[in-house]
A and B are shown apart, each in its own frame.
Chain A
Amino acid sequence: AQSVTQPDIHITVSEGASLELRCNYSYGATPYLFWYVQSPGQGLQLLLKYFSGDTLVQGIKGFEAEFKRSQSSFNLRKPSVHWSDAAEYFCAVGAGNTDKLIFGTGTRLQVFP
């Protein structure tokens, strides 16, 4: 069965520092992978996605993620964090033969000035 693990429940960084949020998935074939962000009181916004091809994908707001099949990982990165990046980040995996998404438990990012 598909599953997604986000090992870090809460991460705190200083503004301007680099960021990496971890995501590990379990799926037999090549998965569809997503990162969503949920700001306080808001719905989910799609940051980026990986379906196939180049394993380094660029998203909105300066985020990128790298798919590593050997590690079953899809970590999210940003070189310099802004205070407005404080939010909850969800990694999700989808199967090619269905439209369902399985979400990780989320990582809450706190940014200090």
Chain B
Amino acid sequence: SAVISQKPSRDICQRGTSLTIQCQVDSQVTMMFWYRQQPGQSLTLIATANQGSEATYESGFVIDKFPISRPNLTFSTLTVSNMSPEDSSIYLCSVEGLAKNIQYFGAGTRLSVL
């Protein structure tokens, strides 16, 4: 399995501001994923990020709101832009390990928007 570090672990932000979440992996991986977990809810995939190409967004998520960077095989960022209280969630990064179709998750970023 991969070791995944997410920063920050939590943050409290003002509405209208943006927050960038970092995801660092201890090994090179092809596929990285960003999920949102709203309070008391399950995980919803925001986008898939492959190195060297644009992220692929799921229905209901757009690049202007959730821009993603994937500069190399061990790192990705997700920005939550122009935040509103509805963006208060846990945001999780995951990676596909050496075994295809198996994802490993970071500890998540707990975001509260006031």
In the assembled complex, which residues on chain B have CB atoms less than 8 Å from the CB atom of A36?
105
A46 interface neighbour in B4, B42, B102, B107, Cβ under 8 Å: B102
B96 interface neighbour in A99, A103, A106, Cβ under 8 Å: A99
Complex Cα distance A94/B43, Å?
A: 14
- Provide the A64-108 mask, 1 if CB < 8 A to any CB of B, else 0: 000000000000000000000000001000101001110111100
In the assembled complex, which residues on chain B have CB atoms less than 8 Å from the CB atom of A103?
42-44
Whether A106 contacts B48 by the Cβ 8 Å rule is: no
Whether A101 contacts B107 by the Cβ 8 Å rule is: no
Q: A90-B42, A105-B42 are in contact. Are A43 and B101 (CB under 8 A)?
A: no
Whether B92 contacts A44 by the Cβ 8 Å rule is: yes
Q: Nearest chain A CB to B69's CB is how many angstroms away?
A: 19
Whether A43 contacts B100 by the Cβ 8 Å rule is: no
In the assembled complex, which residues on chain A have CB atoms less than 8 Å from the CB atom of B108?
42-43
In the assembled complex, which residues on chain A have CB atoms less than 8 Å from the CB atom of B6?
43
B41 proximal to A (CB < 8 A)? yes
In the assembled complex, which residues on chain B have CB atoms less than 8 Å from the CB atom of A42?
107-108
Q: Nearest chain A CB to B100's CB is how many angstroms away?
A: 7
Q: How many A-B residue pairs have CB under 8 A?
A: 46
B45 interface neighbour in A32, A90, A100, Cβ under 8 Å: A100
Contacting B at CB under 8 A, from A19-65, are 32, 34, 36, 42-46, 49, 51
Whether B107 contacts A94 by the Cβ 8 Å rule is: no
Whether A43 contacts B41 by the Cβ 8 Å rule is: no
In the assembled complex, which residues on chain B have CB atoms less than 8 Å from the CB atom of A101?
43, 45, 103
Q: Nearest chain B CB to A91's CB is how many angstroms away?
A: 10
Contacting A at CB under 8 A, from B70-114, are 92, 94, 96, 100-108
8 A-B pairs in the complex with CB atoms less than 8 angstroms apart? A34-B102, A44-B43, A46-B103, A96-B101, A99-B103, A100-B45, A101-B103, A103-B43
10 smallest beta-carbon distances between A and B, as pairs: A43-B107, A44-B105, A43-B105, A103-B43, A103-B42, A105-B42, A43-B108, A32-B101, A99-B31, A43-B106
